[in-house]
Amino acid sequence: MRSLIDVLDLTVNEIDELIEVANDIIANPDKYSEKCKGKKLATLFYEPSTRTRLSFTAAMMELGGNVLGFSEASSSSAMKGESVADTAKMLSCYADIIAMRSPKEGAPFVAAKAASIPVINAGDGGHCHPTQTLGDLLTIKREVGRLNNLTVGFCGDLKYGRTVHSFINALSRYENIKIVLISPEELKLPNYVKYEVLDKNNMEYRETTSLEEAIPTLDVLYMTRIQQERFVDIDEYNRLKDSYILTLDKLANAKKSLAIMHPLPRVNEISVKVDEDERACYFKQALYGKYMRMALILKLLKEAEDKKKEERFSLDDVVINQYICTNPRCITSTEQELDHIFRCVDKEHNIFRCIYCEKRAN
Ligand code: NCD
C-alpha cells in the first residue's frame, strides 16, 4: 500500500502510466464509470479549496465511488484539538482512501503514517502539491506534445507557491529542461529547491525580475498567485501583490506555441482578455487535473489491496530528536508529541532536513 505525499514518490514510468490511463479515461469515460463502485474517498480539507477538493470529488464520482469529508477545519474535530494522526486512524474505519489538504507542512505525511488506507497530499502549506503537478504534466503533454526539451518560466510567488516546488521537482527528471525563475527579490525560489533540485540535477536555470524579458524564450509560462495567506506582514503582501500581470501586450513577443498555465485561483495575474488567446491553457489544466486524480485514485486503490505499507524512504538515514524543526508552518509546531525526525539528504555536505517540511537543520 502506498500514499502520495510528494510527486517524487512516483517514478517517471509511473507518471507515464498515469498519463496513459488519464488519456484513456478521456477517450473512453464509460469504461471507468463503475471502477470504484462501493469505494469511498474522504476529503479532509483544513484549508480553503475550490478546484482541488471538487476535482477530487468529481474524479471519485466519475469512477462510480462515493465521497465524504469536510471542507474547512472549523467543521472538523481539529477545532477540538484532535491530532492529524488520530483523525487519519479514525477515517481509516470509514473510507478507502483519503485526500488531505492542510496549512501545516508535513500533515499529510503524518496522516499517511497513521492511516491504514492510502493518503493523497492535496497541498500542505507552502511545501508541495503533487496532484496539481500531475495535472500540469498531462496539460503539457497534451497541449505542447512533449515533456522533454522545454523552456519553462515560473512567474510570481516562487517562495510560497507549493505548486511551483512540486512542478520543478517533477521536471528535474526530464531531459533538457531549462527553467526561468521570474519573481520579485522577496519571493524567490527557496534555496532547498534551488540547490537540491536544480543544482543537484544540473538543470539550466536563471533568475530574473522581468516577465517581458523572459517571455520570448518560453515554451511554457506558469503564472502563480501571490500567496497572501502565507505572509506574516500584510504590508509586504500589498506591496508585492500586483508584481506581475500578464496582458495581451506582453504576449506580443511570445512564441505562437507557448502554453500559458496557472494552477488557479487567479487573482490579478492574468488579464481576462488573455483567456480568449489560444495559448491560454489554465482552464483545460483544471480539467486535466481531474483526469489525473482519477488515474491516481485507481492506482492507489489497486496497490492498497496489498495491505503492507511501503516506506517512502530508508529509516537508516534519519536522526530522531537530535535537531528541532524551527519552521512555524511545520506540523511538528502544532502536534507536540511528534518526534522531530531529520533525514540526511546530502552525505558529502552533511545536510539534514526535516522529514515533514524539508526545512534544513544545520
Ligand atoms: C493552488 C494551491 O492550492 O496551492 N491551487 C490549486 O490547488 N489549484 C494554487 C494557489 O492557491 O495559488
Q: What is the pLDDT of residues 312-361, one digit of tens each?
A: 888 888 999 999 999 999 999 999 899 999 999 889 889 999 999 999 99
Write down the pLDDT at residue 286: 96
Write down the pLDDT at residue 51: 87
Q: Compute φ and ψ for 357, nearest 5 degrees.
A: -115, -5
Write down the pLDDT at residue 311: 87
Pairwise CA distance, residues 60 & 40, whole Å: 8
What lies within 8 Å, CB to CB, of 359 at 6+ separation is 192, 325, 326, 327, 330, 353
Find out whether the beta carbon of 162 lies less than 6 Å from any atom of ligand 1: yes
CA of 119 to the centre of ligand 1 (A): 19
What lies within 8 Å, CB to CB, of 148 at 6+ separation is 174, 175, 176, 177
CA of 248 to the centre of ligand 1 (A): 24
CA angle 297, 89, 81 (to 5 degrees): 115
Strand partners, 261: 222
CA of 126 to the centre of ligand 1 (A): 10
Write down the pLDDT at residue 201: 93
Write down the pLDDT at residue 156: 97
Judge contact between 175 and 149, C-beta under 8 A. Answer: yes
Pairwise CA distance, residues 141 & 278, whole Å: 16
Judge contact between 189 and 157, C-beta under 8 A. Answer: no
- Candidate list 2, 51, 142, 293, residue with the active-site label: 51
- Annotation marks residue 312 as catalytic: no
Find out whether the beta carbon of 263 lies less than 6 Å from any atom of ligand 1: yes
pLDDT, tens digit, 9 for 90 and up, residues 232-287: 899 999 999 989 999 999 999 999 999 999 999 999 999 999 999 999 999 999 99
Residue among 53, 129, 267 to mutate when testing ligand 1 (max atoms within 8 A of CB): 129
Query: Can you tell me which atom of ligand 1 is nearest the CA of 129?
Result: 4
Distance of CA 42 to the CA centre of its chain: 18
Write down the pLDDT at residue 19: 98
Write down the pLDDT at residue 55: 96
- Of 198, 200, 155, the residue nearest 178 (C-alpha): 198
- Domains of the chain with CATH codes: 7-129+287-305 (3.40.50.1370), 130-286 (3.40.50.1370), 315-354 (no CATH)
Find out whether the beta carbon of 289 lies less than 6 Å from any atom of ligand 1: no
- Annotation marks residue 129 as catalytic: yes
| pTM across the whole model | 0.95
Number of neighbouring beta carbons within 10 Å of residue 94: 12
Write down the pLDDT at residue 50: 86
Query: Can you tell me which atom of ligand 1 is nearest the CA of 122?
Result: 7
- Candidate list 2, 39, 52, 332, residue with the active-site label: 52
- Annotation marks residue 279 as catalytic: no
Residue among 7, 43, 47, 52 to mutate when testing ligand 1 (max atoms within 8 A of CB): 52
Write down the pLDDT at residue 229: 87
Judge contact between 357 and 106, C-beta under 8 A. Answer: yes
- Candidate list 2, 39, 101, 343, residue with the active-site label: 101
Judge contact between 217 and 150, C-beta under 8 A. Answer: no
Low-confidence residues of the chain: pLDDT under 70:
75
- Candidate list 2, 53, 127, 129, residue with the active-site label: 129
**Count, residues in the chain:** 362
DSSP character for 197? I
Number of neighbouring beta carbons within 10 Å of residue 164: 28
Write down the pLDDT at residue 305: 93
Check the CA dihedral 106-127-13-21 and report its sign: positive
Find out whether the beta carbon of 225 lies less than 6 Å from any atom of ligand 1: yes
